[in-house]
Amino acid sequence: MATASSAARGLTTTRAAFIEEAKSRGELFIHQPYELYGEENQETWRRLYAAIAPKWRTYAHPRFLQGVDALALNPERIPRLEEINRFLEPLSAFKAKAVSGYVPAFLFFDSLRRREFPTTITIRDGSRLDYLPEPDIFHDLAGHVPMHTDKRFADALVRFGEVARTASREVRGIDDAERRLHAVESVIKALARFFWFTVEFGLMRRPESDDLCVVGSGLLSSAGEIEHAIESTEVQRYPFQLEWVVNQYFEIDHYQPLLFYTRSFEDLFDRVDELERWIRAERLYNVSPGEPEINEHDLASFLEAAD
């Protein structure tokens, strides 16, 4: 049960007693204690929403804008997950599921396979609106979830989760322990890079023209970077090429200098299929080094996954 002191501190990222208590009990999937959001938390949501909503209309994929309307996102207050799910589930069978923090790679991807999106419930500090090195509820609910209302995009996420399960089975079948460890680290790196350059920071052709628009949640939740991604001459934008994407490292602490675009949701789905074919052909067992770093929890999640 939340204490008075934890309620007073609200649900600010890195300063939420409720989250620390859940972690101390080993609880990953939790509930959203809505009563703990303080006025500072709600004001942060309002400021973030007000800053980015006009840029969504200019730069976001049309299906994202339809998703914002379908979810009835409120610019004045942090959404309740049960309200989001009431609108979301009939559209794509997806639902947002509250988590206490970091989700190991396989478990995260497998949640997508089950049409569950692990959702952070804390919100960033109001003094650091446009940059956060970790997800918060604005990134997850305002950046990710509106795209989940499109069945084609949602199905691509599910397919990606199935590919991660294929990857786990394939690498666990390698007899030599050293080769198995190297292969699983490489495959996780490739999966993370694919996800980064599509779901997190992906661009896509507009349905009605050849112009580019934004589908990636990292861009859709950043008022500064969403415009930079489309307008800046400092950004390189290339058609999605799997061999490039899986070998391209990325860094999270600055605006992205390199972005890739797919032609459509159907094209994105086909790229996920291509990713699985490369896994089965063992073409991802030695991708280039560099970010992201793969931790022991990610490795264990793939090597110990149950069929």
What gap in Å lies between CA 142 and CA 71, rounded to an integer? 10
Instruction: Specify the number of domains making up the chain.
Output: 1
With 0-12 / 13-18 / 19 or more C-beta atoms within 10 angstroms meaning exposed / middle / buried, residue 267 is middle
Residues 6+ apart with CB under 8 A from 97: 29, 81, 111, 116, 117, 118, 119
Asked whether residue 155 is assigned to any structural domain, the reply reads yes
- Whether 49 is covered by a domain: the verdict is yes
Q: Give start and end residues of each alpha helix (H) in 60-94.
A: 62-71, 81-92
Residue 123 domain boundaries: 10-303
Q: For residue 265, tell me if it sits in a domain.
A: yes
Strands of 58-109, DSSP E = 95-99
Query: Quick check: is 4 in a domain?
Result: no
pLDDT tens-digit profile, the chain (307 residues)? 344 344 446 999 999 999 999 999 999 999 999 999 999 999 999 999 999 999 999 999 999 999 999 999 999 999 999 999 999 999 999 999 999 999 999 999 999 999 999 999 999 998 777 766 689 999 999 999 999 999 999 999 999 999 999 999 999 999 999 999 999 999 999 999 999 999 999 999 998 888 999 999 999 999 999 999 999 999 999 999 999 999 999 988 889 999 999 999 999 999 999 999 999 999 999 999 999 999 999 999 999 998 7
- Whichever domain contains 37, its CATH number is 1.10.800.10
Q: What letter represents residue 138's amino acid?
A: F
The 8-class DSSP code of residue 128 comes to: -
Residue 97 maps to a domain: yes
116 to each of 94, 145, 156, 190, how far by Cα in Å? Answer: 6, 11, 13, 22
Residues found in the chain? 307
CA distance 55 to 53: 5
Residue 194 lies inside a defined structural domain of this protein: yes
The answer to whether residue 263 is domain-embedded is yes
Residue 282 CB partners (closer than 8 Å, separation 6+)? 170, 183
pTM beyond 0.85: yes
The sign of the dihedral angle between the CA atoms of 247, 192, 109, 26 is positive
Compute CA distances 227 → 54, 55, 257, whole Å: 11, 7, 13
CA dihedral 27, 135, 264, 71 (to 10 degrees): 80
Omega before 207 within 30 of 0, i.e. cis? no
Q: In this structure, is residue 1 part of a structural domain?
A: no
Q: Rounded to whole angstroms, how far apart are CA atoms 43 and 16?
A: 17
196 Cβ contact list (under 8 Å, min separation 6): 250, 292
